Amino acid sequence: MKLEKVLQELNVNEYQGLNSSQVEENRAKYGVNELEEGKKTPLIVKFLEQFKDVLIIILIIAAIVPIIISAAVSGSVESEEWIETGIILLVVILNAVLGVFQENKAEKSLEALKKMSQPNCRVLRNNQIEVIPSRDIVVGDIIYVEAGDFIPADARVIEATELKVDESSLTGESLPVSKNNKELEADNLPLGDQKNMLFSSTFATNGKGKAVVIATGMKTEIGKIASMLQTSKKELTPLQNKLALVGKMIGVLCLAICAVVFVLQVVKNYINPGDLTVAHIWLDAFKEAVALAVAAIPEGLAAVVTIVLSIGVQKMVKHNAIVKKLPAVETLGSTNVICSDKTGTLTQNKMTVVKLYENELKDIENITKSEAKMLAYFAVCCDARIEGEKRIGDPTELALLDVNNNVGTDISKWQRVLDLPFDSERKMMTTVIPVDGKYLAITKGGPDIVIGLSTNKEEELVKARQMNEKMANSALRVLALAVKEFSEIPAKEDLEKDMTFIGLVGMIDPARPEVKDSINLAREAGIKTVMITGDHITTAEAIARDLGILQEGKKAITSQELDKIDDDTLAETIDDYRVFARVAPKDKVRIVDAWQKNEMVVAMTGDGVNDAPALKRADIGCAMGITGTDVAKQAADMILTDDNFSTIVEAVKQGRGIYSNIKKCIRFLLSSNIGEVIVIFVATIIALIVGLVNKDISIGEPLVAVQLLWVNLITDSLPAFGLGMEEPEESVMKEKPRPKKEGFFAGHIGWNIAFEGIFIGLITLAAYLIGEFVFDVKYENVENVHGMTMAFMTLATAELFHAYNVKSEHSIFSKETFNNKTLNIAFVIGIALQLGVLYIPGINTLFNLVPLSFAELAIVFGLAISVIVLMEIYKLVKRLIIAKK
């Protein structure tokens, strides 16, 4: 739109501003200039949501229903039943508390966005310039900005004097954008090309300007990003999906087996009721089903996985990565694609002079005195300044000051006596300084312009143009320098003509030195690196080729070209592209979605506001800790405290190791649960058969619920934590990423768990039968307690030994067997706890146990160690089969 039409539609006078009544009217119409907060989930709701899990519901039913039935049948509840119910409910509540603790307490992305707003700004109202809080800005306000100011709202430029704005946090463009008041030549231009617009939360680096506010709050470009953060769907991580699947599977199996056991127990009790009434027959059968439910459900699984992930988080901190959401540790390990922002992530986000040309094109190394003098001339012809840690001005000029400070000469001796400021039409800047009794005019600017106004020999100028083209083709930003000598202070109109060309400098936002190796490592690990940037495509391609991202057969594409491709086509062709240039925030989300449609696990790195929606949408978002905005950090799952791309590769290694450890934990825990189910299920069938044959023989219950809870929560959990402390093997980075839909039981792990569980169940049942019928020790008023004790001890001890089987696919006799101190300590503590529960008076009574003799204990340990013997045979056979293949 023409500027006059904009002012007319907003009903504002550019010389007087809005009056008080217009301000109130516009505030009522458009709202205050701040971002809306998303609705927060109450803590109690988060807590209650933890009870939606199928296994948790089964446990709650298993805890409460026996109490209700027992009270209804007998009129009272035994203390043992209260203890079992209390323990089960305590486990459920602890799991819920852990779940709430894992979740983010509040969504802080929008709060961080609000903090980015400039607290105060200058505005023209009632024909007076006022300083007001930025939240009080309304549509139609006339605002003033100058170098160093944050832009408080989206605004159309009215006047601009050398105004440049750093929009890198919004668009990813590394260089400041020159602003003017001309209407745009086309609609739907990327934000970086909207030269007549100022955008909220960017900041001016040079010059000054005047603008009229056209959007505030959620209507600004940054507000649109806030809306995207609010509406962005929350995806479950692969780990969460797989754990949920395992839980549902266990739940279904648990209910089915419980139903079968319940029916079998009822039949058995009717065949041989003893002193049981009809009501007690059903109650007894239900208790047996409850014991089976407790046996089948790995109560410690959630806690173990949480703690293993927490351990992983602590390891990641040592490697400069802060993980905000625990499942993100595993997710990063399964990453297929890293979509990386260029500015500040792959590059240093600092314009740097890397080439110069005086007589020859060379790097900034071993320069001559003449070349050092040229750099000093460039530096003196700059309006930027460096004051300690504070850097003020255009990044291009700051780069000239930096290179002169490093390898040039002192410019403090030169006093500028005349200046011609940079002009976007002239594309030059000129400064006059006194030198040796004369006056030297120094002009820097666009090479084509400066060379064209120089009077050097034609061959010199031809070579200069060739060098300019060579640097430009390498994506360098090139500036030229020329001088002209005067005997007295010259008139301005005499400055920029008939000059002597001196040389060129080429600068770029350089790649981080360590990134190239990291990208190669990622490639070896089967991970694709994709560059996403707001920069021009030429610059992006040059950086991508240098880093090894843009290889043969892969392409670069701009935002405008991307807009012409529909989502389905993009998903089909996404693997053809490795560089996306001039992108908008919505493009980044589309790119992430396209990869995810191809079943890829996507990691997105970034540091700017413009990265936040994609960081949230990706399977794992990685924000930069040093240069990253608060918005990016809050939207991300992980923060890289050193802003180092190589940290991501190390995080991938740790993530893969942690996932492997979690699989070991689950294999270990489920084999125990299957063993427990086998014991109760087979014992019930045997009891039924024996009852049919001989009613005088009672098999009884091999294990009760309180014993099973002890094994699941204590004896099993300790070695599981030890398994979670395993260090990742070096070979883990030579493997390809896991398929997104690969389950926990891929690679025959399911068969291993079943095989190990069945064997553990059988030796536990054997211990029960030996204790009950071979030793035939009777205790007053306590049925089958001797056999139960031997079964309990065998089950728990076998699991402790089995942890070493699960630790590695290698033989237990290898040198790596005992290199995990945590697992070794867990084994010793586990054995000590088992002996304590067995022999400490009062505690053994609570668990329905009696002390065992040395011979009985020897049988227990013999049966337990047989797990190692069996698994060694299994591993040997497996190695022989693999060797033959």
Phi and psi, residue 489, nearest 5°: -60, 120
| Nearest CA-CA partner of 766 in 702, 716, 714, 810 | 702
Query: 341 an active-site residue?
Result: yes
Are 147 and 392 in contact by the 8 Å Cβ rule? The answer is yes
Q: Which residue, 242, 445, 471, is CA-closest to 354?
A: 471
For helices 645-693 and 301-318, give the axis angle rounded to 10 degrees: 160
- C-beta pairs of 842-847 under 8 Å, 24+ apart in sequence: 846/83, 846/706, 847/706, 847/707, 847/710, 847/792
Provide the 3-class DSSP secondary structure of residue 425. Answer: coil
What values do phi and psi take at 234, rounded to 5? -90, 110
Determine the Cα–Cα distance for residues 302 and 306; give it in Å rounded to an integer: 6
Q: In this structure, what token pair is assigned to residue 337? A: 């694609």
For residues 847 and 833, give the distance between their C-alpha atoms in angstroms, rounded to a whole number: 13
Residue with tokens 């949230």: 616
Nearest by Cα to 471 from 394, 371, 375, 356: 356
In one letter, which amino acid is 614? A
Among 263, 354, 327, 261, smallest CA distance to 601 is for 327
- CA max distance for the chain: 127
What is the rounded CA–CA span in Å between residue 235 and residue 508?
Answer: 38
DSSP code for 492 = G
Name, in order, each residue with C-beta under 8 angstroms of 730's C-beta and a sequence gap of 6 or more: none
Type of residue at 154: D
Contact call for residues 439 and 511 (beta carbons, < 8 A):
no
User: CA 863 to CA 758: how far, in whole Å?
Assistant: 14
CA 463/CA 360 separation, integer angstroms? 10
Specify the pairing of strand 500-508 against strand 477-486: antiparallel
**Active-site residue, from 136, 166, 341, 619:** 341
- Give Cβ neighbours of residue 494 (< 8 Å, ≥ 6 apart): 486
Q: What is the DSSP string of 599-611?
A: T--EEEEE-SGGG
The dihedral of CA 356, 362, 365, 370: what is its sign? negative
Please, which contacts does 64-69 make with residues 24 or more away whose CB atoms are closer than 8 Å? 64/89, 65/286, 65/290, 66/283, 66/286, 66/287, 66/290, 69/282, 69/283, 69/286
**What would the two tokens of residue 232 be?**
């962005």
DSSP of 362-380, one letter per residue?
EESSS--HHHHHHHHHHHH
How far apart are the C-alpha atoms of 543 and 336, rounded to whole Å?
22
What are the helix (H) ranges across 208-333?
Answer: 221-231, 238-271, 278-296, 301-318, 327-333
Q: What is the DSSP string of 658-701?
A: HHHHHHHHHHHHHHHHHHHHHHHHHHHHHHHHHHHH-TT-----
Distance, C-alpha 371 to centroid of its chain: 47
Alpha helix (H) ranges present in 694-742? 705-710, 717-724
The Cα–Cα gap between 776 and 782 comes to: 13
Residue 37, SS3 per DSSP: coil
713: number of Cβ within 10 Å:
19
Residues serving a catalytic function are 341
